Structure 1
């Protein structure tokens, strides 16, 4: 399956090549491949590449969420162009069951683009996963940008609504 993030969280078209996420079955799991523009903003987290980093959502990152809508159990996968990652298993909104799970993650980048490949073991995914969304986040301060595969529909927007940080 291939997904393209072509809109901001609130439905506006992005002004760059879209982030592409590909999901494909792999030996004992799922490959998640990311191709995305590279902004280097904010700069790399203060952690070694190839290691989990708590708080990665504050950096340049592509996130994917795999949800069982009935149990509200979900897997959050965060991948950074600098090689760090964060894998969280949650049940209910932001109720962490497991965090900093290990991951096989490789990344390459040029000055304009990065590519990442993660191997997600089947055991990480909630049983009967039936919903998926993905996000791309980059920029600092007022230039922070939140992009979404499935954005908030305009008719559901509330006055002064902000992205879910």
Structure 2
């Protein structure tokens, strides 16, 4: 499954090569690959590459949200990948309600002068059951030059005056089904992490 982030969060075309996100089957999980222009702005976080880094969304990153909703639970999984090799995994129960963060992840980055590529193995135990929606965002730049881009942006005709980027606007996420990747008969493995959270 390949995705291109071709618009800003508010629906305008990006002015550079789009960020590419690829999901492919992995052993007991999903492989996620990122290919993106490298702006080197802001500079690298002070954390160690390959390790979780808190508040990583303030840097040059890709964010991907997987979402599940039923009658009782609104469950979010957020992967954040930095162009310098740091990562952050957030499990949320309800909008902006993080109940677990800083989980370990296999994530590696390679960089050239104008491009970075990241590869991560996403284990099933991090995913909420029966993921139904997805969105992804790319962020770079500092201060007034900060740029927010979205796979599924807010349509321009729905923008409100003074509206700011918000990665939790679920109404703009799109339907997502892992069976497209793994086949119609496949069933998502259960996660002990999410079972613990509900008890």
Q: TM-score, normalised by structure 2?
A: 0.81
The residue that corresponds to 1:55 in the other structure is 55
**Residues 6-36 of structure 1 deviation map (CA, whole Å, 9 limit, x = unaligned):** 0000000001110000001100000000000
**Residues 45-96 of structure 1 deviation map (CA, whole Å, 9 limit, x = unaligned):** 0111011000000000001000003332011000001000000010111111
Picking from 109, 120, 135, the partner of 1:107 is 109
**Residues 106-135 of structure 1 deviation map (CA, whole Å, 9 limit, x = unaligned):** 110101000000000011111010000000
Q: TM-score, normalised by structure 1?
A: 0.98
- Structure showing the higher strand proportion among its residues: 1
CA distance in 1, matches of 2:164, 2:92: 23
Structure with higher RCO (Cα < 8 A, 6+ apart): 1
CA distance in 2, matches of 1:21, 1:92: 25
CA distance in 2, matches of 1:85, 1:113: 18
The residue that corresponds to 2:68 in the other structure is 68
The residue that corresponds to 1:141 in the other structure is 143
CA shift for structure 1 position 155: 2.2
What does residue range 14-163 of structure 1 map to in structure 2 within 5 Å? 14-70=14-70, 71-163=73-165
SS in 2 for 1:123: helix
SS in 1 for 2:117: strand
Q: How many residues align?
A: 165
Q: 4+ residue runs of structure 1 moved beyond 6 angstroms?
A: none
- Structure showing the higher helix proportion among its residues: 2
CA distance in 2, matches of 1:10, 1:64: 17
Gap runs ≥5 in structure 2: 168-199
Which structure would you say has the larger Rg?
2
Gap runs ≥5 in structure 1: none
Two-structure CA RMSD over aligned residues (Å): 0.9
